[in-house]
Amino acid sequence: MTQSLTGINRYADHRAAALRESVAGWTGVASDQVTIGCGSVGILQQLVLSYVDPGDDVVYPWRSFEIYPVFTQLAGGNSIQVPLVDEAFDLDADGDLDLVSIGWDRHEFVRVWRNDAVK
């Protein structure tokens, strides 16, 4: 019991290095390509605040996760809501992405996978 109390007064690793390394090894990517957060809302907030500048277009299926338009508005982005097709969360890359105005100085596209879509 005494041994288990060693270091109890220390903060946990806020970067979750061991977990990121494990996930990176499992998925075959570098650990700096893995982010860990406190649930989907926390990770989505990090994503939006990192990549969406005022005036950027954010495309997402709708009806969907209620936080998408909230974070888009907070970042000053433009919400582009694409209707669900057959109740699936799919975007037509050839059609729906034509709606997006991409600045020539900045080309970023981020795909977020649902955990049931990752095998």
Residue 98 pLDDT: 54
Q: Which of 41, 34, 73, 40 is nearest to 57 (CA)?
A: 73
Confidence of residue 56 (pLDDT cuts 50, 70, 90): confident
Length of the chain: 119
Enter the DSSP assignment of 5.
G
Q: Residue with structure tokens 């270091």?
A: 7
Query: What average pLDDT score do residues 67-82 get?
Result: 90
Calculate the CA dihedral of residues 93, 97, 98, 100 and round it to 10 degrees: -170
Fill in the DSSP letter of residue 88.
B
For residue 1 the two structure tokens come to 């019991």
Flag whether pLDDT at 106 surpasses 60. no
- How many of the other CB atoms lie within 10 Å of CB of 7? 8
Confidence tier at 99 by pLDDT (50, 70, 90): low
Mean pLDDT, the chain, rounded, equals 76
What is the pLDDT, as a whole number, of residue 90? 62
